[in-house]
């Protein structure tokens, strides 16, 4: 194990696996009286996560950029609250957090689930590349502003839905916004997910004294989400997952996770008693992931091989460097005291 990586970054094992569903993972766990905030909790694996947490008794707040879509998708589900929030708009994040803090409630679980992928070069009003802004800096900002409510819970968890995509790129500290280098959408995505992992590493270190633990995770290769809605079909064909007509190959589809399976690791990280004394780790398949030191063969046409965590994305020195850069980019201090 590399000296800058947590000794806890190894499978437990948990008793669950890649085929486990979110409902199976949460069986026997009572979340009555717990308050959860989940970004993007109204579509894809986020929607499934919301439903499962509510079924266990949690009160779930879903901040959404598209409020009407959120209400439509979650109609008829009890113990749900909707709030307007856009992760690419810092004023929107501040306003949401101020409203929540004013309610005086504790926050037991924060799930940073919302994300984008395969997008062309776009920048927010501050000039920040959109995948970095949405997939990472927005969640850093949100978590920082909600810190008092997390402390109030006495025992809280912060979950960052990352991705195997972190293996596509380390964090570029010299040019995070693609101002000097050529923009490639997968480099932007990979960098943003590496940042999620590093954030959890640094956040857990700061939160331990308040019993706030942090986790990042890969949900798996999941069929039926809209994450790839902007992806050029040529890339799918090039990766070997689709045929020349743009249709997913049946043998690949058969190996993909269902949405209930895709939500399972998020729910496991958020609720599992097995993680009571473990934090700051990257998880997959409802367990702590194995560190990828070059011993794992990865093939995109076999999703079961898409696993493992790169040491650079959980390196403690990188995590501290990114924390300072994030505060500088956002213009505020994340006070963890």
Known catalytic residue at 189? yes
pLDDT of residue 227: 52
Q: For 50-80, what is each residue's pLDDT tens digit?
A: 999 999 999 999 999 999 999 999 999 999 9
Element of type H or E holding 170: none
Residue with tokens 């280098």, as numbered in its chain? 181
Give the pLDDT of residue 314: 98
So what's the pLDDT on residue 256? 85
* Mean pLDDT across the chain: 92
199-242, pLDDT tens digit by residue? Answer: 999 999 999 999 999 999 999 988 555 555 555 666 665 666 65
| Contact status, residue 257 vs residue 222, Cβ threshold 8 Å | yes
Distance CA 256, CA 246 (A): 17
Catalytic residue among 42, 136, 164, 189: 189
* pTM (predicted TM-score): 0.94
**Tens-place pLDDT, residues 301-329:** 777 888 999 999 999 999 999 999 999 99
pLDDT reported for residue 303? 77
Residue written as token pair 């009286």: 33
CA distances from 100 to 37, 147, 327 (A): 10, 11, 22
What does the pLDDT read at residue 222? 82
Q: What angle do CA 143, 85, 284 make, to 5 degrees?
A: 50
Distance CA 264, CA 268 (A): 6
């Amino acid at each position: 194990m590399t000296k800058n990586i947590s000794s806890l970054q190894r499978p437990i094992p948990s008793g669950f696996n890649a085929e486990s569903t979110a409902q199976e993972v949460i069986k026997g766990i009572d979340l009555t009286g717990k308050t959860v905030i989940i970004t993007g909790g109204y579509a894809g694996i986020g929607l499934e996560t919301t439903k499962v947490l509510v079924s266990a008794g949690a009160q779930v707040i879903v901040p959404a950029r598209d409020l009407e879509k959120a209400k439509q998708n979650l109609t008829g589900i009890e113990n749900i609250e909707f709030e307007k929030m856009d992760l690419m708009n810092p004023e929107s994040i501040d306003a949401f957090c101020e409203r929540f803090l004013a309610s005086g409630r504790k926050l037991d679980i924060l799930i940073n689930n919302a994300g984008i992928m395969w997008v062309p070069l776009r920048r927010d009003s501050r000039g920040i590349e959109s995948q970095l802004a949405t997939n990472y800096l927005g969640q850093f900002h949100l978590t920082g502003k909600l810190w008092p409510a997390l402390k109030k819970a006495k025992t809280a968890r912060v979950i960052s839905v990352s991705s195997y995509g972190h293996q596509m790129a380390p964090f570029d500290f010299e040019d995070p916004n693609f101002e000097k280098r050529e923009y490639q959408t997968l480099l932007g995505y990979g960098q943003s997910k590496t940042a999620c992992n590093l954030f959890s590493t640094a956040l857990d270190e700061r939160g331990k004294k308040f019993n706030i633990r942090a986790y990042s995770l890969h949900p798996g290769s999941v069929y039926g989400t809209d994450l790839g809605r902007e992806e050029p079909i040529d890339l799918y064909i090039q990766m070997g997952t689709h045929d020349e007509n743009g249709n997913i190959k049946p043998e690949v589809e058969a190996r993909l996770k269902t949405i209930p399976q895709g939500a399972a690791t998020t729910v496991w990280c958020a609720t599992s008693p097995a993680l009571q004394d473990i934090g700051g780790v990257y998880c997959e398949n409802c367990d702590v992931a194995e560190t990828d030191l070059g011993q794992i063969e990865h093939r995109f046409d076999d999703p079961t091989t898409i696993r493992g965590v790169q040491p650079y994305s959980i390196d403690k020195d990188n995590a501290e460097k990114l924390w300072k850069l994030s505060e500088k980019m956002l213009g505020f201090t994340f006070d963890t005291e």
